Amino acid sequence: MAGTDDEAGGTAGGTPLRGPESVEQLLAEHLPGLRAYVRLKAGPLVRAREGESDIVQSTCRQVLEHKHAFQHGGEGHFRRWLYTTALRKILDKHDFHTAARRDTRRNVNAESELLAVYAHLCTPSRVASAREQVDRIETALAALAGDEREVVLLSRIVGLSRADVAAEMGRSEGSVRNLLHRTLVKLSRGLG
């Protein structure tokens, strides 16, 4: 996701929050989605060397450190700030691991949180058996082309509006609607 330095540093323009607890509450509400976003956006290289919990924790720590300076015009701006911060953490980890060959392989199991987010991509009958399908969902998402994966991440995982997704992707809203529809059909077929 594209963002300005102000967004990652703690301001996104708009009105101030009512209090620091508002940022903490928003962060708690978005934690499962953040975990899923990090897991899907990190890619195999970063995931093999970093636990998504470490990246999520680092993102949360940065957000909480800057909560007093953060101002926003609504929950959408908070999500943009949160996910932009996470994306920068992921990119930093990728740069770190490609600059030097390091192996800090860890595997953190956070399936229960991921299932709540992935449920948006499944029918109710699939949700019942979702514990066994986390790998299948992630594999199906990984098999999508770049724009296809991005439209699903931004609309279904991050929860951006169609207009915001269009702005992030440099497309029209109609184009995003069509891409999302085609991608969800493809994803559904990939999940069998």
* DSSP code per residue over 105-150: ------HHHHHHHHGGGS-HHHHHTGGGTHHHHHHHHHTS-HHHHH
Angle at 32 between CA 30 and CA 34, to 5 degrees: 65
Cα–Cα distance, 81 to 6 (Å, whole number): 9
What is the number of residues in the chain?
192
| Residue 2 binned pLDDT confidence (cut-offs 50, 70, 90) | very low
Angle at 155 between CA 154 and CA 161, to 5 degrees: 105
**Mean pLDDT of all residues in 103-113:** 46
What are the structural domain ranges in the chain? 1-108, 112-192
**Mean pLDDT of all residues in 107-132:** 60
**Mean pLDDT of all residues in 73-91:** 85
Average pLDDT across the chain, whole number? 76
Cα–Cα distance, 56 to 114 (Å, whole number): 13
Backbone phi, psi, residue 173, to 5°: -65, -40
Statement: the pTM of the whole predicted model exceeds 0.85: no
* pLDDT value for 7: 37
**Mean pLDDT of all residues in 57-82:** 82
H helices present in the chain, as ranges: 5-9, 20-49, 52-65, 75-99, 111-118, 124-128, 134-142, 146-152, 162-169, 173-190
Cα–Cα distance, 133 to 110 (Å, whole number): 13
Residues 6+ apart with CB under 8 A from 20: 67, 68
Q: Which amino acid is at 68?
A: H
Cα–Cα distance, 125 to 161 (Å, whole number): 27
Looking at residue 13, the DSSP 8-state letter turns out to be: S
80 vs 176, more confident:
176
Q: pLDDT tens for residues 127-177?
A: 556 566 677 788 888 888 889 999 998 888 888 889 999 998 999 999 999
Architecture of the structural domain at 112-192: Orthogonal Bundle (1.10)
Cα-only R_g, the chain: 17
What is the share, in percent, of the chain residues with pLDDT greater than 70? 69
Least confident among 44-48, 101-105, 156-160: 101-105
What is the share, in percent, of the chain residues with pLDDT greater than 90? 20
- Most confident residue range from 66-70, 72-76, 109-113: 66-70
